[in-house]
Amino acid sequence: MPQNAGIKLSLGQKKVLKKFMRKATDKREYRAALGILLRGEGLSAETVGKKLAVTIKQVFVWCHKFRVEGISGLSVKKQTGRPAREGNKAKQIIPKLLKQDPQHFGFLKGRWVLRDISKELKKEGITLHYTGVRRILNDLNIRQKSPKLRALGSIKKNYQKREEIRRYKRIASALKKKNWPCLPR
């Protein structure tokens, strides 16, 4: 016994769905409208789910929303939750901060690092974790440069530098534990 398509679409509804698909700016809206159209053509929820790479349950949710709310049920709503107050403040401050040299703020590095940006925002009264800073930079389309992990100069100088770093790493943990005021030379 063949399964019922679950949704009957009139010619007007099909036109409205196709118009909605053309104007859709979000891929989720487009996929939902296409799913409704495919279900209206008689395809099973399982087939539609496989074609659109969604679960069967999601296909049923689309059909239910379309029956109850119409075409407005397929549009993506604004997400609920507490508004991002700290993030909105930081989005205004970060671009101005990045234009300045980090050494003017007391940082030893010649470029901004996520943790340093987070520390500077904390001085401004905005408590934001460095992962939140990364998300804001992505929202602002600001890309970070990754440093090249090689030392410049001759091979002999590189070897000496690596040896100094290796020695420091070996004794650094002991220095922290004993709270020595300065490093021995």
Residue 154 reports pLDDT greater than 80: no
Q: Return d(Cα 89, Cα 138) in angstroms, integer.
A: 16
Residue 1 reports pLDDT greater than 50: no
Express each pLDDT in 72-130 by its tens digit. 999 888 878 887 778 888 999 999 998 888 888 887 777 888 889 999 999 989 998 88
By C-alpha distance, which of 51, 50, 142 is closest to 91? 142
Q: Which sequence spans correspond to the domains of the chain?
A: 11-74, 85-139, 148-180
Task: Give residue 180's pLDDT.
Answer: 47
Contact 5, 59 (CB under 8 A): no
Q: What is the C-alpha R_g of the chain?
A: 29
Task: Give residue 183's pLDDT.
Answer: 47
Burial state string for 103-135 with b = 16 or more CB within 10 A and e = fewer than 16:
eeeebeeeebeeebbbebbeeeebebeeebbee
Q: How confident is the model at residue 68 (pLDDT cuts 50, 70, 90)?
A: very high
